[in-house]
Structure 1
Amino acid sequence: MPGVTTTAATCPSCGTGTTALREAAPWCPGCEWNLDAYDPARRKREFAWGRLDRWAHRLAVGQFARLSARGLDDSGSPVARIVTMAVSVLLLAGVLALAATGVWLLVAFPFPNLSMLLGVVLLALAYALRPRFGRLDEHLTVLDRDRAPELFALVDEVAAAAGTPAPHVLAVDGTLNAYAGTVGVRRRRVLCLGLPLWGALPAGERVALLGHELGHFANGDPRRAPLVQPALTMLGSAADLVRPVGTVSGAGLLELVGLALAHAVQAVLARVLLASQLVLVAVALRDSQRAEYLADEMAARVAGTDAATGMLDALLAQESIALAVRRESRAGHGPDRWRAAVADARLAAADRLPLVRQLSVRDEVTLFAEHPPTGLRQRLLASRPRHEPLVVLTEQRRTRIDAELAAEYEKVRRAVSWAA
């Protein structure tokens, strides 16, 4: 198999020959000895300190293993959710206290006075630390029912089958991705389909993709909860505010010494705030990772287990999909040829797919991942009862949906063709 190396070493656990893929450290494909090894050559550093990165990797491996072994029926301890929400409430209270104090300093004393300056500073600080609820990406192409009735009908059908609310906004863009989220104070539900991915998937896997993304509107994902947003964003914003910036030049010796001391204090404070942010994110993302498993289960219930598994395999083959879409786009071809080229690429790589799934367990494990490794998601689906599809997208209906999106596909094709 191309890219697969059978090493001369044997597994010390079961005696099977070890395997290497994509220049990764070898592991045993049978008992998976050494699959959880930390491979620094293939990983982006998270803490820029080798020992701390290794510790975080081991912690993440154990966390994902416990999470996947626990299954979907066990929601686990609520401590992580309680801690995240409690910290969010405290942070919100702190910002409100800053704003209230700022207003009081502005109005409590006769004009003019120095307290007004402090009041303005506190109000500016409260504004900078305010929770961010997100906004609709201005680069999205927002669709309406008159423009894409077949696509909206399919989304509604999948939402009904999954028992989830439908999105308020349905949009497309030119990324090899798809996502569901909530934006604004009113938490409007947004579903975005990246056309290179959507166009490259066969009909059943498109239904699975919709089932997975819509599942996030009903699976308790903390990233969608407005009360959790402060814990995920505010300490990071505070770290950005206090991070030292070298903008002073030509100062005297005393000024330089004072500036160096101030920068040292700022640097320490920024790191403390950032470390606190990372701890909170790591705690909150434990529930997010379980939400991904639940979304995969919803995809299997709606589209069938085979389609959901195929959709996850497509996520593992994103590089191949990107190459196929770029090649066919430059040749002037649209989604029909994208899909055919991707199907050929996936068929050619079918023999090494089990190894790619295994390697994802090593490569995608990180303490700050929103998604569990794709290989673990595959395993959990395989361990669940099989599902037959509740929603079937026929080829005729798929063709009509693609025809509705013809103008958007053409924009994406041109953009991909011109990209370097």
Structure 2
Amino acid sequence: MPGVASETRQPCPDCGAEIRGDSRFALWCAACDWNVDPGQPQPDGGPLDRAVRAAARRHGQRLLAEMLSGQALRPRRDASAVAATALALIVHGVTLALAVGGVWCVVAGWGGVGVVAGVVLLVLFWALAPRVRRPPEDRPVLFRADAPELFALVDEVARAVGTRSVHAVAVDGSINAHVMTYGARGRRLLVLGMPLWEVLTPEERIALLGHELAHYANGDTRNGLVVGTAVRTLALWHHTLQPLPDPSGIELAVNALYVLPRLVVRGLLVLFVRLTSRAGTRAEYLADRLAARTASTQATVGLMDRLLTTHSLAVLLRSEANRAALGGSRSAREAKARADELWALLTAFAASIPEHEYERQRRAGARRGHQVDATHPPTHLRRACLLAGEPLPAAVVPQHHRSERIATELAAARTDVARRLLRDGLVD
């Protein structure tokens, strides 16, 4: 895919229409959709899988209809959300029971046996209890003193969305962005993927900030204190119950004992995904709507289009990482120049993606439909939902001087992330 673009022409193998395309992308026919989604695997034809996919499709269509009619203007706490909260409370109850049982056994004593049993239960509680999140240590983290102009923009977007701002901003190499909480006081953290930030226009960046901060305003169940910590607890349990590698005789027996609990925990994780997916897809539509009110409909639609190209951007970044690895070691000055060159190359590549590639991605998304375990609605439907209503103007307008100052504040993190990408080739 990376490289010099050249036009390709050929007749469609199915309908015979002339196909014109870009050599960097999949060649497909706009007349009959031949090869429109070459990487899509064939779905399993089992009756249960077909029924689950049909249910996901029906829910997706019903939710889209609600959004288009204006019925789903606010997040709703439906039966699935209530069930997810109840299940989360049970998970936390099990964790608390370990602590209570451990203390009770230690106090009871029972000639020393209770003390041993209590210590074991307390150790299990300590090992399996949910951990308070901390700011990431493997990526640059900026606070208000480090980036006053960036935080001023985030603050303005937060006010437009109707929520509190964040306490910190982390920058990484993902082609994505998300929000989370950290610390015992539930401080807010915005994580910006520098590859995505670099290819967006100033208006689209405001739309991205508006969408992510809207998840705080919407009260997204998936990121809530009760459900979010329960999911992380189950993930910790599942990791703890993984089979021991190269087991001895005793360890083989331990692995056998782990099988059933691991299957139960995995089943609970899958159930959480099912129960929260409906509220999650609604929250994404609502976040898109708030982003459009903040940055304008046009800017938010532009953001949706950029999100269609994340795979292409990831391929380019991995290709550049491989090329850097073949080039061998460099001096510090050469490494910085190569890091700056990476962002220029990525931005130029994103700007050169032709319209017919965006259209192919939209049609491919329409063919795939609603995925059962997807945390987001299909991008083409999010885009269509935005375009169905009256175009909204921007409440927050980018300022050239602010954009320049933000670029200066992000310069060190920008270089650090590029060096990591070129060194490790890890793109999320």
Which category of TM-score, normalised to the shorter sequence, fits these structures?
0.7 to 0.9
Residues 247-326 of structure 1 mapped to structure 2, 5 A cutoff: 249=248, 259=253, 266-322=258-314
Q: Which residue does the alignment assign to 2:149? A: 150
Residues 11-410 of structure 1 aligned to structure 2 (within 5 Å): 17-23=32-38, 39-40=42-43, 54-71=50-67, 73-74=71-72, 75=75, 78-109=78-109, 113-242=112-241, 244-245=243-244, 249=248, 259=253, 266-322=258-314, 333=340, 337-338=344-345, 340-346=347-353, 349-363=354-368, 365-410=370-415
Shift, 1:370, TM fit: 1.9
In the TM superposition, what is the alpha-carbon distance from 1:299 to its structure 2 partner?
Answer: 1.1
**Shift of residue 9, structure 1, vs aligned partner:** 6.5
Q: Could you give the per-residue CA deviations for residues 39-63 of structure 1, whole angstroms, max 9, x where no partner exists?
A: 34xxxx9xxx976655544433333
Output aligned runs, 1:3-18, within 5 Å.
6=12, 8=14, 17-18=32-33
Deviation at 1:354, TM superposition (A): 2.3
Cα displacement (A) at 1:339: 6.7
Q: For 2:311 and 2:176, how far apart are their aligned partners in 1?
A: 12
Q: 1:94 to 1:306 in 2, by over 3 A?
A: same
User: In the aligned structure 2, how far is the partner of 1:320 from the partner of 1:241?
Assistant: 36
In the other structure, the counterpart of 2:329 is none
Q: Do the aligned residues in 2 keep the contact of 1:177 with 1:197 (CA within 8 Å)? A: yes
Instruction: Determine if contact 1:231/1:280 at 8 Å carries over to the other structure.
Output: no
Question: Does the 8 Å contact 1:204/1:307 carry over to 2?
Answer: yes
Take 1:199 and 1:187, find their aligned partners in 2: how far apart are those partners? Answer: 29
CA distance in 2, matches of 1:82, 1:119: 34
Distance across 2 between alignment mates of 1:100 and 1:339: 55
The whole-number CA distance in structure 2 between the counterparts of 1:240 and 1:4 is 51
Bigger drift between 318-327 and 116-125 goes to 318-327
Deviates more, 1:72-81 or 1:311-320: 72-81
- How far is the alpha carbon of 1:222 from its aligned partner? 1.0
Structure 2 match to 1:31: none
Take 2:199 and 2:235, find their aligned partners in 1: how far apart are those partners?
A: 37
Measure how far apart 1:159 and its partner are.
1.1
Change (3 A) 1:361 1:115: farther
TM-score (norm 1): 0.80
Q: Secondary structure at the match of 1:19?
A: coil
Counterpart-to-counterpart distance in 2, 1:6 and 1:211? 42
TM-score (norm 2): 0.79
Report the Cα offset of residue 199 of structure 1.
1.8
Structure 2: how far apart are the matches of 1:301 and 1:335?
33
Counterpart secondary structure, 1:20? coil
What amino acid is the match of 1:337? A
**Gaps in structure 2 of 5+ consecutive residues:** 1-6, 17-30, 322-335
Aligned-residue offset at 1:364: 7.6
Partners in 1 of 2:295 and 2:10 — Cα distance?
Answer: 32
Shift of 1:219: 0.9
Q: Share of identical aligned residues, percent?
A: 35
Q: 1:2 & 1:286 partners in 2: Cα distance?
A: 42
Using the TM superposition, give the Cα deviation of residue 100 of structure 1 relative to its aligned residue in structure 2, in angstroms: 0.8
Superposition CA RMSD, Å: 3.4
- How far 1:204 moved relative to its partner? 0.8
Could you say if the C-alpha distance between residues 102 and 269 of structure 1 is closer, same or farther in structure 2, counting changes exceeding 3 Å? same
In the alignment, the residues of structure 2 paired with residue 288 and residue 5 of structure 1 have an alpha-carbon distance, to the nearest angstrom, of 43
Give, in angstroms, the shift of residue 278 of structure 1: 0.7
Structure 1 pair 9/263, CA: closer, same or farther in 2 (3 Å)? farther
Range that drifts further, 93-102 or 142-151:
142-151
- Whether contact under 8 Å (1:334, 1:413) holds in the other structure is no
Any idea what SS the aligned residue of 1:21 has? coil
Question: Quick one: which amino acid aligns to residue 272 of structure 1?
Answer: V
How big is the shift at 1:152? 1.4
Report the Cα distance in structure 2 between the residues aligned to 1:188 and 1:416, rounded to whole angstroms. 28
| Larger mean Cα displacement after TM superposition, 138-147 or 330-339 | 330-339
Measure how far apart 1:336 and its partner are.
Answer: 7.2
Distance 1:340 1:363 in 2: 28
User: In the aligned structure 1, how far is the partner of 2:164 from the partner of 2:9?
Assistant: 43
Q: Deviations over 1:315-363 (max 9, x none)?
A: 11113334566759985645873575045323xx212322311312455
